[in-house]
Amino acid sequence: MKFWKLGIIALCLTCLTACGKAQEPVLELEQSITKELPQTQQEEALQEEMPAAEFTFLVGSQPFDGGCLEIGGKHFAEKESLEKIPELNGKSSITLYRGGKEYVELGELCRTSDCEVLMDEERGVYILPREQHWQIPEGYEVPVLMYHGVSDDLWGMTELFVRPSVMEAQIQYLLDNGYTPIWFEDLPNVDKIEKPVILTYDDGYMDNYLELFPILQKYNVKATIFVVTGTIDYNPRSLTTEQIREMSDSGLVSIQSHTVSHGYLNAQTPEEQKYELTKSKVDLAAITGKDPCVICYPSGRFNDTTLELAKQYYAMGINMDGLLYVTGEDPYMVDRFYIRRQDSVGTIASYIQ
């Protein structure tokens, strides 16, 4: 009698999915997998009839080495492979069998493992351990310089584009005066770095690859680029997937989030803000294979909701222009010095000394 009922459920699920009615099959499916099922040939055969789609996901910065399925709006991964990931040490009561393999539902597993699950309709699922905050030694001065474009091909707000020759001169000045350009990820070791400075570039313009990247390579200097992910491969003046991946793989460029749309976060609903912070994180993780751990608030606009979300998904939050950053201050309100096209090497010197 039990198998006859399960067969009817599977048949209804297949028919309703074909007709585009998503709500009913999900309810029926959830009822059929909410308890662990013994692995029998009959039950496995019934579960094989459930419509499934493959997907991929990352754990931290590592791609998952195992099979993944999406069934009825739930995401499952091979139990045997999941057991090899130390971050996922929780338990899930929702399992199913398919193709001779046991699968575990990721949502419940991550909740019991204290991990965050970020869903992405295009790429799948990104799983991040919640505890990701760094221990940064306090009391160290770290100038953070804010750039945008590096080009003589001017458009839009021309002050955003530093001349390539001036950019090179500014980097040369920093090196000649004993400064070490670092990433935010290097801050836990800031006490071991003499005269650190952080170079940041907002928005992710194409010239960051064409003009800036060769300068970084020439001087072997680190920089951070905050990318607006909605422009990737879409806006002809913005970076492409391959350019971002190449710079990230070089070991010189840290790719971090500047949200999806560059909208004012303080004018958005909590749901909209969460989308901007999590979707951009997944977008960049999928390209670089690394965990984007720093969020830059577009135009320096944020509110209490922004800060709450930033603390959930990122290790640091970066403001617009302001004062000198000193470690130990609020890591989600890090100030920077805004460098414009008209600013000279002398301007840089006055900021960082």
pLDDT single digits (tens) 145-188: 999 999 999 999 999 999 999 999 999 999 999 999 999 999 99
pLDDT at 37 over 60: no
Q: Which domain holds residue 115?
A: 2-129
Smallest Cα–Cα separation from 116: which of 49, 60, 185, 73? 60
CA gap 206, 66 in Å, rounded = 35
Residue 135 lies in a domain: no
pLDDT at 131 over 60: no
For residues 335-345, one letter each, b for 16 or more C-beta atoms within 10 angstroms of the residue's C-beta and e for the rest, the string is: bbbbbbbebee
The contacts of residue 257 (CB under 8 Å, 6+ apart) are 226, 227, 229, 277, 280, 281, 284, 292, 294, 295, 296, 314
Residue 40 lies in a domain: yes
In the chain, % of residues over pLDDT 70: 81
pLDDT at 11 over 50: no
| Strand (E) or helix (H) holding 334 | strand 334-338
Mean pLDDT value across the chain: 84
Both 47 and 148 in one domain: the answer is: no
pLDDT single digits (tens) 93-103: 888 888 888 89
CATH number of the structural domain spanning residue 271 = 3.20.20.370
Residue 80 lies in a domain: yes
pLDDT at 77 over 80: yes
pLDDT at 227 over 50: yes
pLDDT single digits (tens) 243-279: 999 999 999 999 999 999 999 999 999 999 999 998 9
Q: How confident is the model at residue 49 (pLDDT cuts 50, 70, 90)?
A: low
Q: Can you give the pLDDT at residue 55?
A: 75
Assigned token pair, 25: 């099959």
Q: What is the largest CA-CA distance in the chain?
A: 84
CA gap 283, 123 in Å, rounded = 8
Q: Pairing relation of β-strands 294-296 and 180-182?
A: unpaired
Both 163 and 24 in one domain: the answer is: no
